Chain A
Amino acid sequence: DSGVTQTPKHLITATGQRVTLRCSPRSGDLSVYWYQQSLDQGLQFLIQYYNGEERAKGNILERFSAQQFPDLHSELNLSSLELGDSALYFCASSSTVGHEKLFFGSGTQLSVL
């Protein structure tokens, strides 16, 4: 168990809908990272937060947004969902920023039908 908690584990929804994925980092970790894993794209970096502030952004779609709350948990919001958004979404955490090992959660499997 990595100590990173992601909910829900599975999510099935329809195109055009909006969903929220939740992540609780390891106790004491201030940084949260979001990754998307699909079969043909590998692990794609989406966004990173440190202590509530956005610190780095990858190729995250405008339909996607995220935030980190004062209690350090993070949410990834995906809207106007498309079939191609179906993927495994991982959250990871580390104690500070940069050049540290990441601890990954078990992921949320999103299926858009």
Chain B
Amino acid sequence: GQQVMQIPQYQHVQEGEDFTTYCNSSTTLSNIQWYKQRPGGHPVFLIQLVKSGEVKKQKRLTFQFGEAKKNSSLHITATQTTDVGTYFCSAWEYGNKLVFGAGTILRVKS
């Protein structure tokens, strides 16, 4: 089945620094979704990207979908302590399965 590989596994940044997590697939994706899970919480939907080369912004978060629709990234500008958590990318596999990447754990030092 389709797999989405996500890196890095873990990142610890100083508050105010930028953060980026990357998601890659060996196959072309129809779309990609990003979720955030706070410590002790549940995954919460952030955004869905559908078009080749698409870029979407949510305040300090910038999401990109690659031209070949095989990779995606989430970039956070000037991290804050409220950004801590695990960020997951996910993709719909044939047969209505939403498969998740392993996630990137973000810790922010204040």
**A positions within 8 Å CB-CB of B:** 2, 33, 35, 42-43, 45, 48, 50, 55-56, 58, 90, 92, 97-99, 101-107
User: Is the contact region of chain A dominated by helix, strand, or loop, or is it mixed?
Assistant: strand
Q: With contacts defined as CB atoms under 8 Å apart, how many contacts are there between chain A and chain B in the complex?
A: 49
For residue B44, give the distance in angstroms from its CB to the closest CB of chain A.
7
Most buried by A among B88, B97, B100: B97
Q: Is the CB of B96 within 8 A of A97?
A: yes
Q: Is the CB of B42 within 8 A of A43?
A: no
A45 to B1, CA, bound (A): 12
User: Which of A50, A55, A107 contacts B42, CB < 8 Å?
Assistant: A107
For residue B49, give the distance in angstroms from its CB to the closest CB of chain A.
12
Closest to A98 in B: B96
Closest to A55 in B: B96
Given the complex, which residues of B lie within 8 Å of A35, measured CB to CB? 100
Q: Is the CB of A90 within 8 A of B43?
A: yes
For residue A81, give the distance in angstroms from its CB to the closest CB of chain B.
23
User: Is the contact region of chain B dominated by helix, strand, or loop, or is it mixed?
Assistant: strand
A4 to B96, CA, bound (A): 20
A109 to B71, CA, bound (A): 32
Q: Is the CB of B96 within 8 A of A2?
A: no
Contacts A2-B42, A50-B96 aside, 15 further interface pairs with beta carbons under 8 A come to: A35-B100, A42-B103, A43-B43, A43-B100, A43-B103, A55-B95, A97-B96, A98-B92, A98-B96, A99-B92, A101-B48, A102-B98, A103-B45, A104-B42, A106-B42
Given the complex, which residues of A lie within 8 Å of B44, measured CB to CB? 2, 104
Given the complex, which residues of B lie within 8 Å of A90, measured CB to CB? 42-43
Q: Is the CB of B96 within 8 A of A43?
A: no
Most buried by B among A2, A104, A105: A104
B108 at the interface (CB under 8 A from A): no
User: Which of A56, A92, A101 contacts B96, CB < 8 Å?
Assistant: A56
Given the complex, which residues of A lie within 8 Å of B98, measured CB to CB? 33, 45, 102
